[in-house]
Chain A
Amino acid sequence: MKNPICYNKRLCRGRPSKAEGEWLPVYRIEQHPILPIPARKSISFSWKGRPVEAFEGETLSSALIAAGVRVFGHHAKDGAAQGIFCANGQCAQCLVLADGIPVKSCMELVRPGVRAEPAEGLPELPRVDAAALAAAKPRPIETLRVPVLIIGGGPAGLSAGIELGKRGVETLIIDDKHRLGGKLVLQTHRFFGSIDAVYAGTRGIDIATRLENEVRSFPHVRVWLQSAALAVYSDKTVGVLVEGRRYALVKPDVLLTTAGAREKNLAFPGNTLPGVYGAGAFQTLVNRDLVKPTGRLFIVGGGNVGLIAGYHALQAGISVVGLVEILPECGGYKVHRDKLARLGVPIYTSHTVLSVNGEDAVVSVTVARVDEKFKSVPGTERSFDCDTVLIAVGLDPVNEFHEKAREFGLPAFAAGDAEEIAEASAAIFSGKIRGLEVARALGHDIGEISPDWYRTADILKSHPGKTTPERTPAEATGVFPVIHCHQEIPCDPCTGVCPNDLIEMDETDIRLLPSFVGEKGGKGCTGCEKCVAICPGLAITLVDFRKDLDFPTVAIPFEFLKDSLKAGDTVTVEDTQGNALGRVEVGAVKAIKTNDRTVIVKVRAPREYANKIAGIRVQPAEVGEPLGRYVERTAEDTIICRCERVTAGAIRKLIRDGVRDINEIKAVTRASMGSCGAKTCTPLIHRLFREEGVPEAEIVDQPKRPLFLEVPLGVFAGLGEEDNGLDRE
């Protein structure tokens, strides 16, 4: 390809191409500290008639993002710019025309030579060649009986599948993605939880591979990939879109729903601009597709999802301008929060987003401090230059299938986030238990499930517990680890790696804090650094006074490119919370094979603060500086239903008129009638009711009905792609 182009020069801070006036796209992640960058075959396609470069096997949306495209079309109703939103096939915000056919670009793999065009207004229904269709032979819709159907091949579904496989129970796992693992495949960080129960200390992406390999070793467990559940019907049958193109009905004896979670959203002016989306979508683009949708990111929400997304952004070379959390403290693990703060990301607690600004794309975000009633405080507004705003304000279970199955009397179980929102480690364990319960429900003798298992499941699900004040060790001789972990969370990898067993935790509860015991049986710390490398929170350093009592060496875990630091560089070191301690010189940067991509950076630091050092700043302070004055968005475009473009004002008016039935709101405004199937707006409508002081008990919800995803009529008619009769002209 001669002149691949970039459509967003504002973002394109990359290399100018040789051709006059053209820019080369740099929206790909070309190196990553954790993720391997596979060699992929280059193909070309066109966008608005101009050539674009892509990789074989990537989605059309990611190929477009890699080319700098952010606006995929404009809404038929009000001309609002549309861009990537869920990156998960659930909505239709990323609709584009591929050879004239409207497709969800996040689910459509890019084909060589495909002519892609933005979807402007209502798409034309593709014409078909009647003669080709006349020859088509529709296949009857297959009905398959299976003892167990598992919807969702993520941590919970795979763990359940493994237990069922071990017991020889015929099981079918369906998953809508191209590979198993669910959201594990997006997680580059090491997992928390228990080493014994849930692979703690291993990275999510690697757990996915282990679970997948294990589940695939059982002949009784079948897997259908790219296969989405569409509905649970009253005849106890589940409709499945198989491999994205064939419809099948599955009649299971037991349904296990492990479909995970969906992200909650927020209503504020500018909330549907292209570039405002969920942290999950972001992780998909960055960690799965290895594209760089943003250069300057702002995050709303200080739970684990938001904090981890910030970390992943930095690892991908994306600047994180800031993070706001409406509560006085971040709700996510303190170790995640601290890690992000140390890397140089400003975290604003008791702050909320007021608006995202821009016409067709995000150019800034405006935030403000909130009072104890969560109302923004005038005079505290600040705006930041950014091109993307992630909304990470919590998750809701994807439990429609479970609820329907229960309503229709189909024996049903749920595990993981579909049952209760918690960490992936909890999903792994609850899946395991539920797998056994399913086997038992089918009459298999599985013996007794240990009460300890249920207890472990509860512990893994638990929210962060109390935080104890930090106590910096006073020692100034020898070698010893400093544990910068002060909040009770379910996590124990550090307790299993010390060769002399010097890191201890109350064995009955992995939520308690670990402590370094100095010596045992005459053996003390050898300085092996294993504890430094294993901690998922990057919250253990090792201070070594043995060579120099005044300038001890501090070993710091570091999950960035090894080449980004070298001996002799000067870095800013920080305490646990991210307060700068001073500038010190890097002595060595070492990667050990067994360290699994965590690099250990050794710095020489003054004895006065060596024991306080917890991390190294990566992002320069100027990244987080606010704009000189704040930007006020005047447009009244707080959108509740993004599919049908229904504003908060329209719905609020109905609520104030006394409407309590969401069915009525739906009938009048069309909110929740759009392509995403009310998945995005329903929680937002509830939120509006709350804001208007209406008790939850007075609200009537609209019923959930098939289909979970929009599927072409031809698929239900039994027509396959080979007889598609598409008239591509």
Chain B
Amino acid sequence: MTANRSYDVVIVGAGSVGAPAALSLAEAGLRVLVIDQYPSVGQGSNKRAIGGLRATHSDPAKIRLCLRSLEVFSTWEERFGDKIEWRKGGYSFVAYRGEEERTLKELLVVQKKYGLNIDWLDRQAFLEVIPDLNPEGLIGGTFSPDDGHASPLLAIHAFYSRAKKLGAEFLFNEKVTGYDIDGGRVRGVRTDKGKYGAAVVINAAGPWGMEMAALAGIDVPVRPDSHEGAVTEAVARFLEPMVVDIRPVAGSANYYFYQHDTGQVIFCITPSPSIWGLDVRETSSFLPMVARRMVDLIPRLRNLRVRRTWRGLYPMTPDGFPIVGWTHDLESYMLAVGMCGQGFMLGPGLGELMARMVLGKTDEKDRETLSYLSPYREFVGQEKLK
């Protein structure tokens, strides 16, 4: 097989990162090809994301990228007309114990430093934001009104459609089997169906990022674990922000939920200990575990009917931060993997940064951002709010 088609950039993975990156690269006028193993866009982890979007992280890299993402999401409908069910509902982290109060207040100092719109609300003020919250033992919590949520399904489809309109090509049902490498430089991508020349290859393969990097002989510390989520019936609006409860209990580290634009509540739990691996088959332990906690937190949820459950993958890195950057050992090969469950909210901001990297147009701030995400950083420390 010979490479009959050649591209400026070939992206492996049409997901939360690959699709917006393709859009940014196509906007820059580059010839882009996106290859995905699934039959259509966003069928890996994107469609399993619950849709939370926040900039209120605790490090400059994610804060910067997500602030930009929020701009993209919040203005998308007005700019391009596609409905992506964006809603500026804010994020709230609840505190019922001294431990959580301390953790959240510590983070607040950092978050404030980066200019984020987030505050500590005492019990009364917090109940005004979430009137149905169980008041028993509530201390208060943090609230960031500029965060929000959108539909991962509709958003990725909007990015994909616009990228295609601008000339990006997508190949589905195609699995990458290797790379053409010559003189320490990647020259193209081989798949089970063909061969594509590329000046730049981007690995945006999410939970399969490690596998895809290994095909190039590169070792990336990305390991997927799985979280289970669910969606309910739609009801009239009763809840605005994403509610996050970080109290660890046996079986789960934290859980979070919000009322989507459609009126449905979407919720998710972080298992503890983590369940490593690619298994995304539904389990019997999820619903009883999460339901007990949610009904305790917001008693009114007890009559809300659960419609559907699923399980998705969080491509985790040792320190909980994404891995984005050029590889040293293989020229023109970029990693954009290990989003640790935040690919959807990072996607648009990250996609633009990736385009600047490909075009060699990064600025000082970009380089600072990338230093946090470097594949060659020392993976020490732990992200506090994963």
Contact = CB atoms under 8 A, between A and B. Distances in A.
A710 B265 CA distance: 13
B47 A713 contact: no
A91 B42 CA distance: 28
A713 B302 contact: yes
Contacts of B238: 124-125
Interface string A709-729: 011111111110000111000
A237 B284 contact: yes
B157 A667 contact: yes
A707 B306 contact: yes
B40 A661 contact: yes
Interface string B287-303: 11011101110011111
A125 B236 contact: yes
Given A122-B263, A128-B299, A661-B40, A231 B282 contact: yes
> Interface residue tally of chain B, by bracket?
35 or more
A141 B284 CA distance: 11
A127 interface: yes
Interface stretch (A130-138, A359-367, A381-389, A556-564): A130-138
Interface in A235-255: 235, 237, 239, 247, 249
Interface in B132-164: 134-136, 153-154, 156-157
A601 B194 CA distance: 77
A235 B282 CA distance: 8
B295 A668 contact: no
Which among B156, B300, B303, B305 has the highest number of chain A CB atoms within 10 Å? B303
Interface in B187-244: 232-236, 238
A125 B301 CA distance: 8
A128 B282 contact: no
A141 B287 CA distance: 10
A580 interface: no
Interface string B265-290: 00000000000000101111101101
A123 interface: yes
A102 B236 CA distance: 11
A713 B235 CA distance: 14
A663 interface: yes
A126 B39 contact: no
A126 B172 CA distance: 45
B304 interface: yes
A219 B236 CA distance: 48
Given A710-B307, A717-B288, A123 B236 contact: yes
Contacts of B43: 661, 663
A74 to B, nearest CB: 14
Contacts of B47: 663, 667
A123 B283 CA distance: 30
Contacts of A123: 235-236
B311 to A, nearest CB: 9
Contact of A713 (B39, B135, B153, B306): B306
B262 to A, nearest CB: 8
Given A101-B303, A121-B236, A126-B303, A235 B309 contact: no
B301, B306, B307 interface centre (most CB from chain A within 10 Å) = B307
Contact of A667 (B42, B282, B301): B42
Interface in B7-64: 39-43, 47
A239 B234 contact: no
A711 B306 CA distance: 5
Contacts of B287: 239, 247, 716
Contacts of A716: 287-288, 290-292, 306
A659 B40 contact: yes
A714 B295 contact: yes
A714 B301 CA distance: 7
A408 interface: yes
A176 to B, nearest CB: 16
Interface string A633-676: 00000000000000000000000000111011011101000010
B303 A726 contact: yes
A726 B302 CA distance: 10
A233 interface: yes
A91 B318 CA distance: 45
Nearest to A644: B262
B114 interface: no
24 contacts: A76-B234, A76-B263, A124-B235, A124-B238, A138-B295, A231-B282, A234-B279, A235-B285, A239-B287, A247-B288, A667-B42, A667-B47, A670-B262, A706-B309, A707-B308, A710-B305, A710-B306, A712-B302, A712-B306, A714-B301, A717-B296, A717-B302, A719-B302, A726-B303
Interface of A: 76, 92, 101-102, 121-128, 130, 133-134, 138, 141, 231, 233-235, 237, 239, 247, 249, 407-408, 659-661, 663-664, 666-668, 670, 675, 677, 700, 705-707, 710-719, 724-726
